[in-house]
Amino acid sequence: MTMRLGPLLLVVVLGLVLTPPTLAQNDARYIKFLTQHLDADPKGRDDRYCNRMMKDRGLTSPCKDRNTFIHGNKKSIRAICGEGGNPYKDNLRISISKFQVTTCKHTGGSPLPPCQYRASKDFRRIIIACENGWPVHFDESIISPKQAGPSPRDGSASFNPLLTQNSDGNIHCQWPEKEVSETSPDL
């Protein structure tokens, strides 16, 4: 029995030692992404919603300037890292489907609490960064879905402009072979 247990124990120990620390749901970056951006069952989606959610999620010390909550489930958001998304610039992924989102924008002048937020809600395609098949960073969302053209599964380009807003509030207008960006704090 000792002879059989020894090799088996060695395989188990080697498996634990060689397993990457960034696996699945225990990954700190994935958990942080979920904490900052996932709200599967929103209540309200108005300014009070933003004030409550930003405080409850620990995003008000100091006041975070802007945060987007995605109203989908973990499985549909994770799918963007695979078949539910297409490659996008700089190792990002853009969702094929639109998601219901609420963006909360800080309206006060001071970064110190109490923080006040203004809510804007929409259905948008979202752009995220993935690591090992798991979402770890919300980058931006589509501003004008009607202008963005179709969302083909093959990732082929559209000849309509694609307007996006990144997490810092910068607006980008992309045309085939052309890109213009502009900062607009009011969107």
Q: What is the pLDDT of residues 89-134, one digit of tens each?
A: 888 999 999 999 999 999 988 999 999 999 999 999 999 999 999 9
pLDDT at 171: 58
Full 3-state SS string of the chain: CHHHHHHHHHHHHHHHHHCCCCCHHHCHHHHHHHHHHECCCCCCCCHHHHHHHHHHCCCECCECCEEEEEECCHHHHHHHHCCCEEEEHHHEEEECCCEEEEEEEECCCCCCCCCCEEEEEEEECEEEEEECCEEEEEEEEECCCCCCCCCCCCCCCCCCCEEEEECCCEEEEEECCEEEEEECCCC
pLDDT at 141: 76
pLDDT at 184: 32
* Annotated active-site residue in 37, 71, 106, 172: 37
pLDDT at 158: 44
pLDDT at 101: 97
* Annotated active-site residue in 71, 106, 137, 172: 137
pLDDT at 114: 93
pLDDT at 91: 86
Q: What is the pTM of this model?
A: 0.67
pLDDT at 17: 45
- Residue type (1 letter), 122: D
Give yes or no: 37 in active site: yes
pLDDT at 165: 61
pLDDT at 178: 32
pLDDT at 106: 97
Residue segments in the chain with a per-residue pLDDT below the cut of 50: 1-3, 8-14, 16-17, 19, 21-22, 25, 144-160, 175-187
Give yes or no: 172 in active site: no
Point out which residues pair with 87 in neighbouring strands. 93
User: CA-to-CA distance for 91 and 48, rounded, in angstroms?
Assistant: 35
